[in-house]
Amino acid sequence: MLELINKYVNKLISQGVCNIDTPVFGGLDAEIVWNRLSHRTKTLEKVIDGLNINSILFSKPAEPYASIINFLSKTQESAIFPQDCETRTFLHDIPIVADFDSLKIIIALKKRKAAIIPNQGIVTFGTVSPEQAFISYSSVCFSCFVKFFTDYYKDIKLQKQTNEQNKIFKKAFDIYYKFIKNYKNSTNCIKGPFKDTETTIKAMIQAGKLVVDYRLVDSFFGNISYKLKDKIYISQTTSSLDELAGCIDPCPIDNSSCTALTASSELSAHKDALLNSDNKAILHGHPKFSVIMSMLCDKEEVCNKFGECHIKCPKKRFVKDIPIVPGEVGTGKYGLSNTLPPAIKGNRGAIVYGHGLFTVGKNDFSDAFNNLLKIEKMCIDEYRSTIKRLREG
């Protein structure tokens, strides 16, 4: 258990959501084991006793997440309500607990996957594995980041932003901008087109790890696929892109086997997008500003679909050349399988509202990955330009 806990502590640090020595992570083995000693552990042990869980995580987030989350906590009463896809489908909302008190934490975590304790940190848990706690923690940081920047855009428009918001905006934007702008296009991807299963899987594993290393996806979200002969190779549902070995499913295009039962829930969208183009590769990540830009709209107040933007947006929207489309996960009437394939056809990528960015590669993952990075950089620049125009009035 301790080895598994330390694995996810290291992931939290490498993703930039926690600093070294801030996570307090405990897991139930023969007894409760902790990654380090802390005055927090007695309270957290009471939380474990009060819930049917096997692991618990508490940590102050790294910057800029700490400042963002503390600010959002002050502007909300009982919970934070981000509107991105991860929150809608996974977190629902993020409760605010006033004190580091075991009973208050237990009440919050009986209803939700994570809770925020203002000026102290985030507490979350796993019922089966410490991985669940890692996923929830990472998702809270992502969702709050997206909410802060979408809210800031709206407040700038209404000229109601505060000095504190302005300071947090500058710090958070500068940290992320410096990080992502330092990355250059990757030239290390295995060159295609691929001829066999072994090379295809090796290339998918490599590309998935790149997406995580460049922080173009958080926790276990995102997926990857490749069309080889009569099969679509795709990452399994809930698999981590940096740990794809043994987690890639070969799905026959003619549906002649049930392999797809464990495949990503977005298989149908990948399949239709690949079959209706000359591309062989698709990468799907959650780059922060691609998601943020998809959620900025000047028509909310007059749009009769407001509140249903993620499934029924009636407008054709773009960030430069990249289309923004609505779409729910799955194959329903408003599913990605219907909205994504026509949007991505003939383009280097498409953004799904509040969800993430899909990019394509003709023969391998070089173009797909570089498009992911280029489009995210473009969205950062577009956001900055948009804020500047609003300020200048």
Q: Does residue 192 lie in a domain region?
A: no
Q: Do 288 and 369 fall into the same domain?
A: yes
Task: Name 183's Cβ contacts closer than 8 Å, sequence gap at least 6.
Answer: 214, 373
Q: Does residue 188 lie in a domain region?
A: no
DSSP structure string for 276-307 = TSS--EEEEE--HHHHHHHT--S-TTT-TTTT
pLDDT on residue 237: 85
pLDDT on residue 168: 98
Q: Do 117 and 204 fall into the same domain?
A: no
Share of the chain above pLDDT 90, in %: 79
DSSP state of 6: H
Total structural domains within the chain: 2
pLDDT, averaged across the chain: 92
Q: Does residue 171 lie in a domain region?
A: no
Pairing type for strands 349-352 and 322-325 reads: parallel
| pTM for this prediction | 0.95
Q: Which two tokens stand for residue 128?
A: 């089966």
Q: Does residue 37 lie in a domain region?
A: yes
Q: CA-to-CA distance for 25 and 18, rounded, in angstroms? A: 12
* Domain final residue, candidates 133, 148, 163: 148
Q: CA-to-CA distance for 108 and 96, rounded, in angstroms? A: 8
pLDDT on residue 266: 85
pLDDT on residue 365: 96
Pairing type for strands 248-252 and 281-285 reads: unpaired
Q: Does residue 179 lie in a domain region?
A: no
Q: Do 127 and 223 fall into the same domain?
A: no
Q: Does residue 31 lie in a domain region?
A: yes
Q: CA-to-CA distance for 27 and 223, rounded, in angstroms? A: 28
Residue that is written with structure tokens 């028509």 in the block? 299
pLDDT on residue 301: 63
Q: Do 276 and 350 fall into the same domain?
A: yes
pLDDT digits (tens, 9 = 90+) for 169-206: 999 999 999 999 888 877 789 999 999 999 999 999 99
Q: Is the pLDDT of residue 151 over 80?
A: yes
Q: Indicate the pLDDT class of residue 143, thresholds 50, 70 and 90.
A: very high
Q: CA-to-CA distance for 307 and 300, rounded, in angstroms? A: 8
How far apart, in Å, are the Cα atoms of 178 and each of 107, 181, 182, 184, 376?
39, 5, 6, 12, 13
Q: Do 201 and 135 fall into the same domain?
A: no
pLDDT on residue 184: 81
CATH number of the domain to which 349 belongs: 3.40.225.10
For range 16-44, the mean pLDDT: 95
Q: Do 208 and 78 fall into the same domain?
A: no
Q: Do 131 and 208 fall into the same domain?
A: no
For range 29-48, the mean pLDDT: 95
For range 15-35, the mean pLDDT: 95
Q: Do 37 and 95 fall into the same domain?
A: yes
pLDDT digits (tens, 9 = 90+) for 327-371: 887 667 788 889 999 999 999 999 999 999 999 999 999 999 999
* Domain final residue, candidates 148, 167, 186: 148
* Domain final residue, candidates 120, 148, 176: 148
Q: Does residue 216 lie in a domain region?
A: yes
Q: Do 35 and 142 fall into the same domain?
A: yes
Q: CA-to-CA distance for 35 and 364, rounded, in angstroms? A: 40
Q: Is the pLDDT of residue 73 over 70?
A: yes
Q: Do 201 and 340 fall into the same domain?
A: yes
pLDDT on residue 219: 67
Q: Do 133 and 230 fall into the same domain?
A: no
pLDDT on residue 26: 97
Q: Does residue 327 lie in a domain region?
A: yes
Q: Do 139 and 201 fall into the same domain?
A: no
Share of the chain above pLDDT 70, in %: 96
Q: Which two tokens stand for residue 7?
A: 């694995």
Enclosing domain of residue 331: 197-392
